Structure 1
């Protein structure tokens, strides 16, 4: 049994989820542009490092609250 967290979902083609399987964290990023990307992490710090780099502040100028919500959701996993 594993837990699944929804980080964000705009529709069925644009979403990001995290599955916790024991010590392993699996991030699934689904987008209408790139299809599905899957990232596997062995620790929360490793996943947070990826999230901080994937969702860089400079990419969210004017949308800082959106980025904050995404990072906050990752921290709650």
Structure 2
């Protein structure tokens, strides 16, 4: 798994505590996992997550978030 953040700032981590750095490749050790994203931006943000299997097939997931300051 690897991720990129073209817009905004934040951090992505796995349920086992692994903190991801953008563009680095990390092995998935379990078939089921959770990802947690924490924003460090007040503007719109986008992250692209790529999951790559052992055969080189790639699945891309793009997530976009908007800031909402309504209280």
Q: TM-score range by the shorter chain?
A: 0.3 to 0.5
Query: Which one has the largest radius of gyration?
Result: 2
What is the TM-score normalised by the length of structure 2? 0.35
